[in-house]
Amino acid sequence: MTLRRLLSLTRKAVDEYNMIDENDRIAIGISGGKDSLTLLYALSGLRRFYPKKFEIEAITVDLGFDGFNVENIEKLCKELDVNYTVIRTQIKDVVFDIRNESNPCSLCAKMRKGAFNDKAKELKCNKSAYAHHRDDIIETALMSLIYEGHFYCFAPVTYLDRTDITLIRPLMYVDEADVKGFTNKMQLPIVKNPCPVDGNTKREYIKQLVNKLEYENHGFKDRMFHAVKTGVPTFYSSESMAADN
């Protein structure tokens, strides 16, 4: 995927759902993965020509795992003229060592988002951008059906009343395959997730299931995405439900 295509799809989402207003200050969560780095590129590029002026802040929450090096991400942010902040935390120690959680993802996500939102407010951001792409939307909707018996998904725009921050998802029209292609094309500095449970989650299972359904029923992803957009799902409205499963 070219940068022009990425910016076109990002602007489509931003315009269709009124994600950005004049003088917004948007915090971008940078995990080091392909999705967040692609979002960083997309919003930094859109910032140059979008009719409504806005600023962006890149924020990484360091969970405390050994070997997590963000030096190359810092260099990329300088190249894109984006202020970059790293929050050092002991979330890893709390989740895995002190609490020894049987379901570490839930507590980790809660603590990580808390640290991120606190820093975003400190940096005077009124919005935050998450890097959920089209495949994430499809997978989340399917997860809700299989595990909870409901048909819902996270909304493109969500106001988090407890933090007074509006959450936006500008990559909602971008396929994961295109994110991978863009990452490779631009040689983005991916930082491998050091979490020991990475890839062993329900979401990973659903991802594989979606790919199998697409293979066996060509066009499944398109139809599922259409169903989410045009159906009447119950969108998450609270901060807790806006978090990843």
Span 233-241, mean pLDDT?
Answer: 49
pLDDT tens string 165-182: 999 999 999 999 999 999
Give Dmax (Cα) for the chain.
49
Exposure letters 38-75 (e unless 16+ CB within 10 A, then b): bbbbbbbbbbeebeeebbbbbbbbbbbeeebebeebbe
The answer, yes or no, to whether residue 245 has pLDDT greater than 70, is: no
Q: What is the pLDDT of residue 204?
A: 86
What average pLDDT does range 204-209 have in this prediction?
A: 92
Window from 12-16, 82-86, 140-144, 197-201 with minimum mean pLDDT: 197-201
Nearest in space to 211 (alpha carbons), one of 236, 175, 235:
175
pLDDT in tens, 85-131: 999 988 888 888 787 766 777 788 888 899 999 999 999 999 999 99
Number of Cβ within 10 Å of residue 223's Cβ equals 12
3-class DSSP state for residue 56? strand
Phi, psi of 236 (to 5 degrees): -60, 140
Helices (H), 123-201: 134-143, 176-186
End-to-end Cα, the chain, rounded Å: 28
For 5-34, how does the pLDDT look when each residue is reduced to its tens digit (9 = 90+)? Answer: 999 999 999 999 999 999 999 999 999 999
CB–CB of 156/137 below 8 Å? no
Domain boundaries, the chain: 3-231
> Over pLDDT 70: what percentage of the chain?
92
3-state secondary structure of 39: helix
Provide the 8-state DSSP code for 49: T
Cα separation, 113 vs 109, whole angstroms: 6
Instruction: Please tell me the distance from the alpha carbon of residue 51 to that of residue 53, in angstroms, as a whole number.
Output: 6
Q: Per mean pLDDT, which range of 56-70, 107-121, 208-222, 224-238 is the poorest?
A: 224-238
CATH homologous superfamily for the domain 3-231: HUPs (3.40.50.620)
In this predicted structure, the answer to whether residue 76 has a pLDDT above a threshold of 80 is yes
Q: Which two tokens stand for residue 1?
A: 């995927």
Greater pLDDT, 133 or 234? 133
Q: How far apart are CA 72 and CA 190, in angstroms?
A: 9
